Amino acid sequence: MSEAKVNITVKVDKETHKRYKLYAVEHEITFKEIFMEEMERRIAEAKKQKEEK
């Protein structure tokens, strides 16, 4: 299986950015890791909903 590199740009408002920044500092992770965790969670939810149908 080949690996692909994907660049994604996400624009967030100042308040959301502030919350993400605080979360990242508290949990000692990067914005990229936060984004990846969120995408994995959303993919899992979508698969679960697809299986239920």
pTM higher than the cut 0.95 = no
Res 43: pLDDT: 93
Res 3: pLDDT: 83
Compute the distance between CA of residue 26 and CA of residue 9 in angstroms, rounded to an integer: 23
Compute the distance between CA of residue 41 and CA of residue 25 in angstroms, rounded to an integer: 21
Res 34: pLDDT: 85
> Other C-beta atoms within 10 Å of 48: how many?
9
Res 1: pLDDT: 61
Q: What is the pLDDT of residues 1-53, one digit of tens each?
A: 678 887 878 788 999 889 888 988 998 998 888 888 888 999 999 999 999 87
